[in-house]
Homo-oligomer: A and B are copies of this chain.
Amino acid sequence: MSVNAQSLDLDVPGYMKEVGDRAKAAARETGRAESRLKNSALRAIADTIEVSAEHLLDENRKDLQSGEQHDLDAALLDRLELNPSRIADMAEGLRQIAVLEDPVGSVSDLHYRPSGIQVGRMRVPLGVIGIIYESRPNVTVDAAGLCLKAGNAAILRGGSEAIHSNQALAACIHEGLYAAGMTRDAVQVVKTVDRMAVGELLRMKGMVDVIVPRGGKGLIERVSKDSLVPVIKHLHGVCHVYIDDDADPGKADRIAYNAKTQRYGTCNTMETLLVAEGISGRVLPGLAAQYREAGVELRGCERTRQLLGDIKAASPDDWDTEYLAPILSVRIVDDLDGAIDHIARHGSQHTDVIVTEDLGKARRFLREVDSSSVMVNASSRFADGFEYGLGAEIGISTDKLHARGPVGLEGLTTQKYIVLGDGHIRA
């Protein structure tokens, strides 16, 4: 199906305009769809994916072969690959979305005003959501499921290296939508690999309500620089754990070790450890030994190096770096104020942790650290939609407007005011 669309003579702006028009029309239908209908579509898509497993693997093989021919690196090929277990996960993910509570239509704060009108807020879909992502084909299914459940129409643009896989998944999605009696236009997967399509999508103000880029920092920076449509994005995570002098050393040890070593490549992994001078002698040598054993390279400030001996000196750049690797920068600070200052200067407003038994200091840290997740005595690795109970997440937003932190179904909706009267007029 994708072959014709990929032909060089496709009128990309015209095609994208049509995609946008269809999405906008579909959004009216998805917006008013009852939960039951959306859930049955989600389950029908899951079923179709399962029965289409062989075909999906065949199409995915084309992408993998083409990727090998184009010398894609092993990590990228791994992300691109589908296998029976990944296919089962996609279907299972959709069924999990189906059982989540539907946020659409819920009314909050409905109350009477002195004028006699009732005023409340109703949660409603955003409308049309554009998702721009890279090589993982499972994003096609996850994103489609979340957008649909939240009552939105979706325009998905995956990486060109995954075009066969994504088009095969699109066919499954369309079959499921059709089986449930919903319009196929509720989820459109862009059929062309022409990069111009992304540029068009980013300029579709008034047609697309929000763009969610998912992928590496390069993609996200490019999208947010060029987009005329509002963007919900996750830029990077330079997360801190601050061990206060009133910390319980056992908890400090456990949390600082877990926050760095439980996984290295995730955005909520600690990249800088801050330690109050008063407790540094008690906790840092033991932690350093554990990190060394785990193969984590330490880069320290002057005081840290005096304490720990032969570790590398942190350069000024280190404090601003998201390593996503077994590297950790360590700084000894005077006190809580020093830690808050450091985080304000070098943090990425993602996730920051204090370890302390002092309630007053915990209270200050919670209020004054301006990050999407602020934690007391818990590992930064908890910053995650599933751990927070959102059921699923489309990403973690490091922006402040609209959605901050893990973005689940609610982040793909907005609220409108509703007013109920009985002939009320304004005096």
Q: Which residues of A contact B (CB under 8 A)?
A: 28, 31-32, 105, 111, 113, 115, 117, 119, 122, 124, 126-127, 209-210, 230, 248, 250-251, 254-255, 257-259, 262, 344, 364, 366-368, 370-379, 381-383, 387-389, 399-402, 404-406, 414-426
Instruction: State how many angstroms separate the Cβ of A129 from the closest Cβ of chain B.
Output: 11
User: With A122-B367, A366-B122 as given contacts, are A417 and B406 in contact (CB-CB < 8 Å)?
Assistant: yes
Instruction: State how many angstroms separate the Cβ of A251 from the closest Cβ of chain B.
Output: 3
User: With A127-B400, A370-B31, A401-B414 as given contacts, are A424 and B379 in contact (CB-CB < 8 Å)?
Assistant: yes
| A422 to B357 Cα, complex, angstroms | 9
In contact, A416 and B373 (Cβ under 8 angstroms):
yes
In contact, A415 and B404 (Cβ under 8 angstroms):
yes
| A262 to B373 Cα, complex, angstroms | 47
In contact, B374 and A425 (Cβ under 8 angstroms):
no
User: With A119-B388, A378-B424, A424-B378 as given contacts, are A371 and B416 in contact (CB-CB < 8 Å)?
Assistant: yes
In contact, A115 and B382 (Cβ under 8 angstroms):
yes
| A364 to B152 Cα, complex, angstroms | 17
| A389 to B111 Cα, complex, angstroms | 10
A-B contact list, 24 entries, CB within 8 Å? A28-B370, A105-B367, A115-B387, A124-B367, A126-B401, A127-B370, A251-B423, A255-B425, A259-B425, A366-B418, A374-B417, A375-B421, A376-B418, A376-B419, A377-B424, A378-B424, A382-B421, A382-B424, A387-B426, A401-B401, A401-B402, A404-B414, A404-B415, A404-B416
**Chain B residues, CB < 8 A from A416:** 370-374, 404-405
In contact, A368 and B31 (Cβ under 8 angstroms):
yes
In contact, B422 and A251 (Cβ under 8 angstroms):
yes
Of the residues B209, B255, B364, B423, contact of A400 by C-beta under 8 Å:
B209
**Chain B residues, CB < 8 A from A371:** 416
**Chain B residues, CB < 8 A from A421:** 375-379, 382
5 other A-B residue contacts (CB within 8 Å) besides A32-B364, A255-B424:
A31-B370, A122-B366, A259-B425, A262-B425, A402-B402
Instruction: State how many angstroms separate the Cβ of A96 from the closest Cβ of chain B.
Output: 15
* Interface pairs A-B: 10 shortest CB-CB: A378-B421, A251-B423, A258-B425, A381-B426, A375-B419, A402-B402, A401-B402, A373-B417, A405-B417, A379-B425
Kindly report which residue of chain B lies nearest to residue A389, judged by CB atoms.
B113
Kindly report which residue of chain B lies nearest to residue A341, judged by CB atoms.
B28
Kindly report which residue of chain B lies nearest to residue A399, judged by CB atoms.
B230
In contact, A373 and B419 (Cβ under 8 angstroms):
yes
| A119 to B372 Cα, complex, angstroms | 12
User: With A28-B368, A105-B367, A344-B28 as given contacts, are A375 and B418 in contact (CB-CB < 8 Å)?
Assistant: yes
| A387 to B387 Cα, complex, angstroms | 39
Of the residues B209, B406, B423, contact of A250 by C-beta under 8 Å:
B423
In contact, A420 and B124 (Cβ under 8 angstroms):
no
Kindly report which residue of chain B lies nearest to residue A374, judged by CB atoms.
B418
In contact, A117 and B378 (Cβ under 8 angstroms):
yes
Instruction: State how many angstroms separate the Cβ of A395 from the closest Cβ of chain B.
Output: 14
In contact, A400 and B126 (Cβ under 8 angstroms):
yes
Instruction: State how many angstroms separate the Cβ of A344 from the closest Cβ of chain B.
Output: 7
**Chain B residues, CB < 8 A from A209:** 400-401
In contact, A117 and B382 (Cβ under 8 angstroms):
yes
| A401 to B32 Cα, complex, angstroms | 19
Kindly report which residue of chain B lies nearest to residue A248, judged by CB atoms.
B423
**Chain B residues, CB < 8 A from A254:** 423, 425
In contact, A255 and B28 (Cβ under 8 angstroms):
no
Instruction: State how many angstroms separate the Cβ of A94 from the closest Cβ of chain B.
Output: 22
Instruction: State how many angstroms separate the Cβ of A283 from the closest Cβ of chain B.
Output: 13
Kindly report which residue of chain B lies nearest to residue A151, judged by CB atoms.
B367
Kindly report which residue of chain B lies nearest to residue A381, judged by CB atoms.
B426
In contact, A124 and B370 (Cβ under 8 angstroms):
yes
In contact, B379 and A426 (Cβ under 8 angstroms):
yes
